[in-house]
Amino acid sequence: MTSNAVRIGAEPGTVARRTILIVVGVVFAIPIISMLEFTFRDGLGGGYTLEHWGALVDPEQNSKYRQLFRAVQNSFVLAAVTVAIVLFLLLPTMILVHLQFPKLRRVLEFICIIPITVPAIVLVVGLAPVYGVVVGIFGSSVWTLAFAYGITVLPYAYRAIQASISAVDMITLSEAARSLGAGWLNVLWRVLLPNLRRGILAASLISVAVVLGEYTIASLLNRQNLQTALVQVSKSDPYGAVIFALLALAFVFILLLLIGRVGSTRPGRKTT
C-alpha cells in the first residue's frame, strides 16, 4: 500500500523523505547542540569543563542557582494552580455545556479560542490594573498569576478536552447511567470522567508546559517565574541560565511526548 502510494506520487519516495527530514532535522538540531556546547565551555579562553553542570549538584555552589531553584518552584506552583483552574472551572463547564446547553457550545468554543487573537502582550496591558485589585484581595503571592495563566492555556486545554468529548457519546452515556438510577455525582465521577481521562490528562500536561514557558505576563507584571529568572540570571551567569533552559526544554519535550502517547494509544471502544 505504501509503495503503491509512493509509485502513484501521493507520498514521497524514501530518498526524498529521508533527505528532507535529515536536512531540516540537522539544521534544527544546531541551536540546541550549540546550547549544549556552551554549557561545557570554560570561560572565553576555550577548552571544556564540567564545572557548570557540577555546580548544579554541588551544595557549596548551590547558592549560585538559588534564585533559579526558587523560580522553578514558583513556576510549579503556578502550573499546579493553573491545572486546578482547568480542572475545576473549564472542565465542569465544558461537560455542562455539552450535556445541557448545546446551543452554547459554539459560544464556549469561541471564548476559549479568543486568547489566540488577544496575545499575552495585549492582555497584559489590561491585566496590570486588574492585578491591582487582585493583589488587594489575595495579596501579592506568586500563585495569583495563575488566574492570568488559566486564560493563556484556555485554547490548548479546550482543544485537548474537546477532542475527548467529541470521541465519546456523553449524552447517551449519562442518560444510560441516569436511567439505571445513578445520581449526577455518580454519573460524573464514575461514567463521564473516566471516559474523558485522556483529554483531561492531555489538557493538564499541556497547561503545565505552557505555564513553564510563559514569560510575557510574568515579566511585565514584575513576578518571578522560571522564564523571567532565566533572563535575569543569564546576565550574570549565562551558563546556569542555559543549563536550566536546556533542562526546561527537555522536561517539556518529555511532557509532550507523554501527551502524544496518551493520545495515540486507543483502547477498544467496548465501553460505548
Q: Cell for 222? A: 514584575
Question: Which CB, 59 or 175, lies closer to another protein?
Answer: 175
116 within 8 A of 157, measured Cβ to Cβ: no
Residue with cell 531553584: 69
Question: Which CB, 130 or 135, lies closer to another protein?
Answer: 130
Q: Cell for 123? A: 492582555
Question: Which CB, 11 or 51, lies closer to another protein?
Answer: 11
How far is 108 from 110, CA to CA, in rounded Å?
A: 5
How far is 14 from 17, CA to CA, in rounded Å?
A: 5
Q: How far is the CB of 104 from another protein (least distance, A)?
A: 5
Q: Cell for 154? A: 484556555
Q: How far is the CB of 242 from another protein (least distance, A)?
A: 5
Question: Which CB, 266 or 269, lies closer to another protein?
Answer: 266
Q: How far is the CB of 236 from another protein (least distance, A)?
A: 14
Residue with cell 457550545: 105
Question: Which CB, 101 or 189, lies closer to another protein?
Answer: 101
Please tell me the chain's helix, strand, coil percentages from 3-state DSSP, rounded to the nearest 5: 80, 0, 15
Q: How far is the CB of 46 from another protein (least distance, A)?
A: 10
Using a CB cutoff of 8 Å and minimum separation of 24, what contacts does 136-145 make?
142/74, 142/77, 142/78, 142/223, 142/224, 142/225, 143/77, 143/78, 143/81, 145/78, 145/217, 145/218, 145/221, 145/223, 145/225
Q: How far is the CB of 4 from another protein (least distance, A)?
A: 8
Question: Which CB, 204 or 227, lies closer to another protein?
Answer: 227
Q: Cell for 134? A: 487582585
Question: Which CB, 64 or 159, lies closer to another protein?
Answer: 159
Q: How far is the CB of 32 from another protein (least distance, A)?
A: 6
**Which helix (H) or strand (E) segment is 219 a member of?**
helix 216-220
Q: How far is the CB of 197 from another protein (least distance, A)?
A: 20
Q: How far is the CB of 192 from another protein (least distance, A)?
A: 14
Question: Which CB, 7 or 190, lies closer to another protein?
Answer: 7
How far is 80 from 117, CA to CA, in rounded Å?
A: 25
Radius of gyration for the chain, computed over Cα atoms and rounded to the nearest angstrom: 23
